[in-house]
Amino acid sequence: LMDHPGVVGCRVDARLIGALAAEQKAGEGPWTRNDRLVAVAVPSRLYDEVRSLDGLPARLLDEVEAFFVHYTRLNGKEFRI
């Protein structure tokens, strides 16, 4: 999570705040564990005090989950948290 958008290929120092336990599958294949790590850019004014996923608004976590579900669907796979 960052205050401003980054460009593809840029390096950002970050602080890990948690992981979303997730699974995905392609077609009729088996579900495979595919967790997503969540980190905060250092320094970040918006997320400076956040030290865990509990410190984020529930709506933001819902948006992150929706992003991964949609992104994975575009690649022909299913995704669930």
pLDDT value at residue 59: 97
d(CA 73, CA 50): 30
Single-letter amino acid, residue 7: V
Question: Which of 35, 39, 26 lies closest to 68 in space, CA to CA?
Answer: 35
Q: What stretches of the chain adopt beta strand conformation (E)?
A: 14-20, 23-26, 32-33, 36-41, 77-80
Per-residue pLDDT at 43 exceeds 90: no
DSSP letter for 19, please: E
d(CA 78, CA 29): 10
Per-residue pLDDT at 3 exceeds 90: yes
